[in-house]
Structure 1
Amino acid sequence: MIELTVNGATHRVDVDPATPLLYVLRNELGLNGAKFGCGMGQCGACTVLVDNRPVFSCLYPVSSTAGRSVRTVEGLGTPARPGPLQQAFIDTQAVQCGYCIAGMIVRAQALLEKVAHPTENQIRAHMSPNLCRCGTHMRILEAIRKVASSGVLHAATNEENRS
């Protein structure tokens, strides 16, 4: 049995410790936001946060989550109450097919929690591991800039850290 904490909830799963986190999230926990893209950590569709750092969950063994906090796109908001980045992606129409978007949002979340007002170069460098085959990169960048300029995400994160 492996115990892991995902989006603030503790789960016990009976899987091989070498099982990629992506498969546990999707098949055992029913969290389907992270997608299987390439299976080689080269596209970013499977990006989740482990201790607030973006990781490719298709390569990350579930055993490595012991004592760590995992966050998925489902932990950033709900359909009824999207998180700031999720809402910005909606507002800027950054989604075309939607396959990469969960990974994009999660990676952007990590950046904006760390850097309140990133430069354009910081945003582009941070987002570069994640690919969008539909070509909505400009709208994705626009959504990230929108949230960064509002400061709402960083302010909420700072408030959580004070609690």
Structure 2
Amino acid sequence: MRNISDLIEHYLKQILQSGAGSIEIQRGDLAEKFSCVPSQINYVISTRFTLEKGYSVESKRGGGGYIRIQRVDLPSLEAVQRLLHQSAGSRIDENKANGLIYQLEEAGIVTAREAHLMRTALSPEALPLKQPLQDELRSNLMRVMLLALLAR
């Protein structure tokens, strides 16, 4: 059986895929729907709806507060490079790299096989260096791999 975080994520993604370019939700209403605490909603949104995974999240707190989630598409090389620069800069940790690879695969920019190879090449096991060198090398490798894949 799926856990509550998976259910909330699936529910939100289903709404986004139903044609709505973005959704606005109220944390309390969603928590009530899933019989959970509002902090569970915060956790799902902050970990599963990140820029690296292809989502833009805007939040307004308070009585009439809301959370707006919008899918961000990667239609061009320029968009990919901009996202990589925003996400990585000169360093990128494994979680952010995997999130970016996930988004590239979802957008059809890389195949499942290419995504798997990228994740493997950027894993800590493949980069046996201490921090921050590991994250710097990961960022450089990610850039080179993306340029090679997008130039095909």
Same fold (TM over 0.5): no
TM-score normalised to structure 2 length: 0.30
Structure with larger RCO (C-alpha < 8 A, sep 6+) = 1
TM-score normalised to structure 1 length: 0.29
Between structures 1 and 2, the one with greater helix share: 2
